[in-house]
Amino acid sequence: MATTNHTAVSEFLLLGLTDDPALQPLIFSLFLSMYLVTILGNLLIILAVSNDSHLHTPMYFFLSNLSFNDICLITSTIPKMLVNILRQDQSITYAGCLSQICFVLIFGGLENCLLAVMAYDRYVAICHPLTYTVIMNPHLRVLLVLLSLLISVVHALLHTLMVLWLSFCSDVEIPHFFCELAQVIKVACSDTLINNVLVYLVAGLFAGVPLCGIIFSYVNIVSSVLRMPSSKGKQKAFSTCGSHLSVVSLFYGTGFGVYISSEVTDSPRKTAVASVMYSVVTQMLNPFIYSLRNRDMKEALRKLIGRTASL
Residue 236 within a domain:
yes
What single-letter amino acid sits at 115? L
* Domain assignment present for 209: yes
Domain count along the chain: 1
Host H or E run for residue 8: none
Residue 83, H or E segment: helix 78-87
Q: Taking 70 as the threshold, does the pLDDT of residue 269 lie above it?
A: no
CA–CA gap between residue 78 and residue 250 (Å, rounded):
20
Q: What is the CATH number for 40?
A: 1.20.1070.10
Question: Percent of the chain scored above 70 by pLDDT?
Answer: 92
User: Does residue 311 surpass a pLDDT of 70?
Assistant: no
Which pLDDT tens digit goes with each residue over 232-268?
Answer: 767 777 777 888 888 888 888 877 776 676 666 666 6
* Residue count (the chain): 311
Classify residue 3 by its DSSP letter. -
310 is a domain residue? no
CA–CA dist 176, 180 (Å, integer): 7
Domain assignment of residue 242, yes or no: yes
DSSP-derived secondary structure letter, 176: S
The pTM of the full predicted model, rounded to 2 decimals, is 0.89
In a domain, 306, yes or no: no
Q: pLDDT of 272-300, one tens digit each?
A: 777 787 788 888 988 888 877 677 788 88
For 169, the domain range is 16-297
